[in-house]
Structure 1
Amino acid sequence: MNAPSLPELLTAIRDCRACADLPQGPRPVVQAGKEARLLIISQAPGSKVHASGLPFDDDSGDRLRAWMGIDKTQFYDPAGIALMPAGFCYPGKGKGGDLPPRRECAPLWHDRLLSALPNIRLTLLVGQYAQKLYLPRGFAPNLTEAVRQWREAPGGLLPLPHPAWRSRLWMARNPWFEAEVLPDLRERVRQALSEV
């Protein structure tokens, strides 16, 4: 049995109803193109993204693009950048913010989507849920230490904090992120997107 083409796979992901019990219903959000060279694995869409259906269509997306040194045109070009959250649907609100990504998504879709993206050169692990999925067990005890050890992350992975509004407070406590990580991130993004 042949694996589905990338367009067929993206349609299957967008049609997924594995989380039909979500408070606002399922609306999987994903972006990918066969030639994509940069992959962003994030947490899960927020309520604004759920409403628009466009990944990172909120303040956190503006902050992430600024960190990466790219504009919206580059960010939303699936020929360069693929976006694959740990949970494809908005999980709903909890006591301290959005609920964690649903656990069904990654096992259902990640391996299939990754196998359909053969040209990925750099993977940004945005937030603790993406890092728990893809960094080796024991790599770092928490998100801050994972980001602090970005140079030691295995082949092509780069851990980042989530760019939500709270990241401004985190950045104020960790000035090395802006001074050291962001310049390296921008250079790695530039190299990944310029590779032929």
Structure 2
Amino acid sequence: MHLLLRTLLLLVTSGRRPPLSLWGTSSLPLRVLPTDIDIAMHVNNGMYFSLMDLGRFDLMVRAGAWRRMRAKGWAPVVNLETITFRKSLTLWQRYTIESRIIGVDDRAIYFEQRMVASGEVYARAYIATRLVSATGPVSNEEIFAEVGMPPADLELPEFLHRWREESALPSTRRPAPHLW
């Protein structure tokens, strides 16, 4: 909710930026705002994921996928994510969010996203996403029929396959009792 206005503004302004292929790389220039920082005066660790949402929206809007998804009643959701921090982004610092799809499997579309300042990677994240409709998850076949097939050479790195398997929770159709 804290980025709702920024997200709505981005959905409008991204449509005015040069178009991209969904399989290309979005580079979204931003500046660290007071609402992004914590008591240590740097971007809060949880805020990185929220800001990275903006990068994925920029890519989807500029590729024309966002309009098609919304027309179908599809919504993006994050299924799994991990991040590694290298340096802190600080108040008023300029940076870009670099976003690209790096692979797909039978359950998710995977993004790599980077926070970059002065040509250096400050943080890198891998995010597994899905599209859902009112009736449940949208299949890759439906997605690709709408937005086009991924490039033939787009191959999900093996470590992300293992990450998904090792981190997965049970399906929502199976019990997941809370036991320590």
**TM-score normalised over the length of structure 1:** 0.27
Higher relative contact order (CA 8 A, sep 6+): 1
Structure whose alpha-carbon radius of gyration is higher:
2
